[in-house]
Amino acid sequence: MANNHNIVVEIDATRENWKLCVRVVRLWLVPNFKNKKLSHSLEMVLVNSHMGGFLQYRIHTTVKRTLVYKFQNEIKKGKCYSFHLMGVASNIGGFKTNHHPYKLIFQFSTKVILLEDGAVPNIVYDLVPISTIMDGGLDVDYLVGKVALLNSINFDLIIISTIMLL
């Protein structure tokens, strides 16, 4: 991928002209509880092609209700995209999908370009030592995906948010 793309760890609130090469690893519609036929938002977890830094290569992304119609048929789970011109907001709230301090907000001007499938790796692991879980040290404010126990001769690990795309 061309090196004119930013990496997720660079994202902050100082600008909105970010250009990212990402894979959509989670994608879901949040229902509108007043009208089941409408969606409140389209939510995504993106993984950047740069894999440096522990837990800093993912970022949560939101498409607000008024723009869901524009993007929901264009973006698919597991596919790679180049996203341009997104807003940035603080990643606050009771539950988060990752530890990044910011999240991305799609704007009407956001550009979505489908890339070849190999542009971003499709397997991501967040390994947490079993002692962290057993001692109650796991941060419960973060949502996790599939959980599996991996046993080895020398150590035990819990795999948190294992993302395997087939």
Task: Give domain limits for the chain.
Answer: 8-119, 123-164
pLDDT in tens, 52-78: 433 347 899 999 999 999 999 999 999
Phi-psi region of 68 (alpha: psi -120 to 50; beta: other; left: phi over 0): alpha
CATH classification (class only), 8-119: mainly beta
Q: Which two tokens stand for residue 146?
A: 């599939």
Q: Which amino acid is at 45?
A: V
- Digit-coded pLDDT (tens) for 107-130: 999 999 999 887 777 766 666 677
pLDDT digits (tens, 9 = 90+) for 76-89: 999 999 999 999 99
Contact between residue 80 and residue 120 where contact means Cβ atoms under 8 Å apart: yes
pLDDT of residue 135: 79
Q: The sheet that has 146-151: what strands, in order across it?
A: 123-129, 156-164, 146-151
- Quickly count: other Cβ atoms within 10 Å of residue 54's Cβ: 9
3-state secondary structure of 44: strand
Tokens linked to 61: 């992304």
